[in-house]
Structure formats: C-alpha cells, structure tokens
Structure 1
Amino acid sequence: MHRYDPARQRLALGLAGLAGLVDATGFVVAGGYFTSFMSGNTTRMGVELVERPALALAPLGLIGCFLAGVIGGAMVGKRVRGRHKRVLLGLVAIMLGAGAGLLAAGLPLPFLALSAMAMGCANNVFVRDGEVTVGVTYMTGALVRFGQGIAARLAGEPLTSTRGYGLLWSALATGAAAGGALCVAAPLLAAGLAVCSALVLWGFAFRVER
C-alpha cells in the first residue's frame, strides 16, 4: 500500500470495500459460502468432504470460478498494460451486473459463479511484474502487516511498509457490514449496490491511469 500514491490507495480501499460487499451478499445467497474469501471455502470444502461429501461441490465450484477469474484477469491484464485497471474493473462491473440480473431472475447459482469470477479478476488490478501487490479480497496478510506495524511502533521503530493495511481491512469490513445490512431487506439490493460501486471504481480508474 505504501508504495502507491494517494489516488491508487483510495482505489485499493474502494476495491476492498467492494469485495466485502460482494462477499457478504454471496454468503447470504449461498447459505454460508464465500464469493471472494477462498480460504474459508477451502476449509468448508475440507470439512464437508469428510462429513457430507456431496456438499463439498459448492465450495469447490466457487473456488473454480474464482480461479477462472484470476486466470482470465491476468491474461487480459497482460494484453492491456498501462490501462489494465480500467479494463479489469470494467469487466468486474459487467460480471457483477450480469450476476445481479440473473439473481433478479431467480437464478442464484449463476449469480454466485459470476460474483466469484469477478472477485478473482479484481485481484489483478494491483499487480507489478506479474505479482499481486495488494490483495483486495483477502485480509489475513493485511492484518499481519497491520499487527507488525503496531508492534514496531510500540518498540519505537515504525515501519513505513506496514502503513495502510489497517485501513484496507477496515474497508473490507465496512463493505461486508453494508452488504449484510442490505441483505436483511433483500440480497438484490446489495447486489445492485455492488454493481453501482464497481461502476464508480471503473470511472475512478480512468482518472488514476490518466
């Protein structure tokens, strides 16, 4: 986070918030599975393989969709270097929009598949030399860096490399809370907000890459 200018940091925070919103919506629609948090799906898959093998297909399918999004996003990103942020966020908005439409039509499974693919694609927005520099859909690493930063400050040796990770986690948590609140009324409202948020981030990406 600290290597990026303020505009790109804001984009990362917005994308983390979007990930939290999409994940919370998917969690409600899928009945306890995730569309961006693949560690959670992997744990559930492992447990269900032992207890109820047939149910393991649900998290396995979401993991496959997420991975497809990562692969597709990485391939597209390499072809559009210099403007990959706007292109990838445009694809994320399209997938989330299509998913919301399918959810409105009473088709939750394609909605979940497209949401997972969109979140996989989103992880290619912040990439340098082919490697992810800011993970926007998973926060374990961010919390570790945040904790290391606190420890360094307590020791009187602040680490600039740990700055911003607490905010990144907070953005995802805020997005998840918003998604959960909207899902109390209707998951479709949360899905609609995710589409609108993705479009805003897509527009902001044009400004960032200008």
Structure 2
Amino acid sequence: MLDSRRNIALACALSALAGYVDGVGYLHLGGLFVSFMSGNSTRLGVSLAEAQWWPAAQALGLIALFVAGAAAGSLVVLGGGAERQPRLLLIEAVLLGAAALCHAFGMSGLAIAGIVLAMGLENAVFQIDGGAGLGLTYVTGALVKVGQLLAASLNGGPRWSWAPNLLLWAALVAGSAAGALAYVRINLAAIWFAAGTALALAAIVAAAVRRSRA
C-alpha cells in the first residue's frame, strides 16, 4: 500500500498523528496506551499475574474500545464509495474533537474513550475490501518489513523498498515526541491539535479524491 508518494505521505501523516495522540495518552494514563494495544495486552497479563485487578480492567477496557473503533472503521470501508478515506478521517476528527470537549468539561474518562475509538478507526484508512489493511497506530510490522526489505535489497532486490516503512516508524516517533511536549504544557487539551490535523487531512484527501474523479 506504500506504493505511491500520495499514499506514503498520507500514511506518514497519520502515523505521526497516532504517535502524537499516543504520547498524550501515555502520559495522561501513566503508562497505558491509547493506540498501542500490544503494550496494553502486556500490561493486562502482568496485572493479572500480580492480582492488580483495577489496572487489568483499565487495560482490558482500552483494548475493547480500540477493537470497537477498528470495527467501526471497517464498517465504513465495507460500505464502499470513493469517499471512504475522507469520511473515515472526518469521523476521526469528530471523535478527537469530542474528546477535547469532554476534557474541557471535566470528563476525562469520556475523553480517553473517544481518543481510543478514534485510534482504532484510523487503522481502516488503508483497508481494502475488508482486508487487514495497513496498521497506522503501531509500527512493529513496519520495522519487520524494514528488515525484510533491507535484506531483499542487499540480495539484489529494489534498493530503497525499505525506506517507506522506515519513514512510517520515524513519523510515529516524531509525533510521540510532539505529543509529549504538548501534554506537558496544556494537558489533555493537546488533543485539539490532533482533531484539527485530522480535519485538515480529511479536507486534503477529499479534494484529492474529487480531482481524481474529475
């Protein structure tokens, strides 16, 4: 799916957005994640082993919300239509904006729920015909592909085929750093910037879709 400059740019922008949101969420939740469910799954297992039931319930709740968001995103994709990418991004922007509003009114729990749903939904942006698609809120798979494609390039394959996946990883790291810096300064209100970014991306992608159909 990272087969064109447009797709690479959009994927990196969304990975940076996910990293930003996860940086904010990680600091707010004190070590749990809003988009990295492998980390939450590990925390769930460790908490269960240590009989720490409330941390285990928190991790499980975040995982369930993320799955619900991913399912909602897939339903949008399965609905078809050329506008599904901008539609998904618009829904993500609305969820993040609602989360920021919830925080402004002192409902941080609801804010986190909206953020996690948005992160699950984002992973459907590059989903095609109900397939697994491209993970945008986690980069373990991208790093595996960097290693595999790097080995292929050393064995006579395409020289730079690994670079897009490395860019995806770098974008998430940069976004995480930006999110952490924003959270330190303005707490969960930092999500307003994420909502605005998602809305801008929705508008850009919608315009690109219209141009391609003209």
* TM-score using structure 1 length: 0.93
Aligned to 1:202: 202
8 Å contact from structure 2 (residues 77, 130) kept in 1: no
In the alignment, structure 1 segments of 5+ residues that lack a partner are: none
Higher alpha-carbon deviation: 114-123 or 8-17: 8-17
User: 1:119-154: CA deviations, max 9, x gaps?
Assistant: 111111101221133210110000011122223333
8 Å contact from structure 1 (residues 29, 108) kept in 2: no
Higher alpha-carbon deviation: 191-200 or 35-44: 191-200
Q: Find the aligned partners of 1:2 and 1:87 in 2 and give their Cα distance.
A: 20
- Amino acid of the structure 1 residue aligned with 2:47: E
Aligned to 1:9: 8
Aligned to 2:49: 50
Aligned to 2:187: 187
Q: Find the aligned partners of 2:133 and 2:61 in 1 and give their Cα distance.
A: 26
- Amino acid of the structure 1 residue aligned with 2:115: S
Q: Find the aligned partners of 1:162 and 1:129 in 2 and give their Cα distance.
A: 25
- Amino acid of the structure 1 residue aligned with 2:19: G
Tell me, what secondary structure is at the counterpart of 1:110? helix
Aligned to 2:127: 127
User: 1:127-185: CA deviations, max 9, x gaps?
Assistant: 12211332101100000111222233334433665441000111111110100111111
Aligned to 1:40: 39
Higher alpha-carbon deviation: 164-173 or 181-190: 181-190
8 Å contact from structure 2 (residues 90, 199) kept in 1: yes
Does 1:102 pair with 2:102? yes
Q: Cα distance, 1:196 vs. partner?
A: 1.3
CA gap 1:205/1:132 in 2 versus in 1, 3 angstroms: farther
Q: Cα distance, 1:189 vs. partner?
A: 4.2
Percentage of matched positions with identical amino acids: 41
Q: Find the aligned partners of 2:154 and 2:7 in 1 and give their Cα distance.
A: 28
- Amino acid of the structure 1 residue aligned with 2:178: A
Tell me, what secondary structure is at the counterpart of 1:128? coil
4+ aligned runs moved over 6 Å, structure 1 = none
Q: Find the aligned partners of 2:123 and 2:92 in 1 and give their Cα distance.
A: 10
In the alignment, structure 2 segments of 5+ residues that lack a partner are: none
The count of corresponding residues between Structure 1 and Structure 2 is 209
Q: Find the aligned partners of 2:49 and 2:99 in 1 and give their Cα distance.
A: 31
8 Å contact from structure 1 (residues 2, 161) kept in 2: no
* TM-score using structure 2 length: 0.91
Higher alpha-carbon deviation: 181-190 or 150-159: 150-159
